[in-house]
Amino acid sequence: MMTILGRAMGDRVDWQSGRMDGAGVQRSVKTVGELAGVFADEAARSGMDAARVVYAVEWTEPVAAGTEGGLFWGATRLEAGCVGDEYFMTRGHFHAVRDRGEFYGTVSGEGMLVLMEEDGATRVERMVPGSLHYIPGRVAHRTVNTGAEAMVFWACWPSDAGHDYAAIAARGFGLRVMRGDGSPRVVEA
């Protein structure tokens, strides 16, 4: 009897670095210059090297964006650094289809996952190697690197979730994560 093995999709992952390889892999980079208005200290941000990379994302979309019932898969590498006293972080988003959830799993580095309900109530979860985070639907999410090395985490999210960055641009999150004496400070925004 012969076993016919199914064929994998062809894209490959490097678990530790978060890098992906394959024809279906998409890449996005966000620099200091592209993050105007995201950090509290806009003067500090505008004085920095605009080309400095804050984070890079690699992901694969095996079905068209917007398809109901599919999944996307990818990794974010969030660099270590600060804008003023505020740690490097992602813009953060609600999902455009609000009730869609997501998984994050941390590979390396240390930081925080900032989670905000639609009413603005905000909390944080510590991200460390091996930490797995379930982000429920209707909860905005942003990651912050509080360590000295890059923080890498994998994510899996529904193919019809989409991203709503505008809602965050308008109101921000309820908490900010700042460099403190010895340990990060989580402050009201």
Site residues, Fe ion (CB under 5 A): 102
Nearest residue (beta carbon) to Fe ion: 102
Q: Distance of alpha carbon 91 from its chain centroid, rounded?
A: 8
- Minimum CB distance to Fe ion smaller for 50 or for 132: 132
Q: What is the DSSP string of the chain?
A: --PPPPPP-S-EEETTTTEEESTTEEEEEEEGGG-TTTSS-HHHHHTS-TT-EEEEEEEE-SS-TT-TT-EEEEEEEEPP-EETTEEPB---BB-SSTT--EEEEEEES-EEEEEEETTS-EEEEEE-TT-EEEE-TTEEEEEEE-SSS-EEEEEEEETT---B-HHHHHH--SEEEE--SSS-EEEE-
Shortest distance (Å) from residue 102 CB to Fe ion: 5
Shortest distance (Å) from residue 111 CB to Fe ion: 16
Shortest distance (Å) from residue 165 CB to Fe ion: 10
- Minimum CB distance to Fe ion smaller for 74 or for 109: 74
d(CA 84, CA 82): 6
Shortest distance (Å) from residue 134 CB to Fe ion: 12
d(CA 26, CA 61): 8
Shortest distance (Å) from residue 43 CB to Fe ion: 30
- Minimum CB distance to Fe ion smaller for 117 or for 149: 117
Shortest distance (Å) from residue 77 CB to Fe ion: 16
- Minimum CB distance to Fe ion smaller for 102 or for 160: 102
- Minimum CB distance to Fe ion smaller for 113 or for 178: 113
- Minimum CB distance to Fe ion smaller for 45 or for 133: 133
